[in-house]
Amino acid sequence: MFQLSRTPMLTFLLLIGAVNLYVAVTNLQTFRGCAVREFSFVAQKPGCRSLRIHTEACWGRCQTWEKPVLEPPYVQWHHRVCTYSRTRHLTARLPGCRPHVSPLYPYPLALQCDCAICSNLDTECETF
């Protein structure tokens, strides 16, 4: 009896977990806008060993468009990128630094992100 009543519940829980996973993947693929998301990177500095850092960063897709016009500059554009609007600046201490090399490594923690014009102050704005 116990085994029979437990099996439908287990099947139900597995089904709910699969649906939640599908919804999460779908939301990431169709998400439009800008949001804070977990991010990991390897901090490197000459004269020190590297360190993996876990932080929060901006992530998303923003509305952008271009259309041709008859007068210079011959294009009207609206380009926005997902970028920091509020940050907290943190500092990590890198291991194994040589003498006279500061072990301090500054990096931002995203508190809020918005779609805005790209600024070289905190974002790489290069185009290909």
| Regions of the chain with pLDDT less than 50 | 1-26, 128
Residue 28: its pLDDT value, please?
A: 54
Residue 33: its pLDDT value, please?
A: 83
Residue 127: its pLDDT value, please?
A: 60
CATH 2.40.110.10 given to domain 34-128 = no
Distance CA 26, CA 24 (A): 5
Q: Is 74 left (phi over 0), alpha (psi -120 to 50) or beta?
A: left
Nearest CA to 92 out of 41, 57, 58 is that of 41
Residue 27: its pLDDT value, please?
A: 58
Could you tell me where the beta strands, DSSP code E, fall in 44-80?
A: 51-61, 65-68, 75-78
Nearest CA to 92 out of 79, 78, 108, 72 is that of 108
* pLDDT per position as a tens digit, 21-55: 343 444 556 777 899 999 999 999 999 999 999 99
Residue 120: its pLDDT value, please?
A: 78
For the question of whether the overall pTM of this predicted structure is more than 0.75, the answer is: no
Domain limits of the chain? Answer: 1-30, 34-128
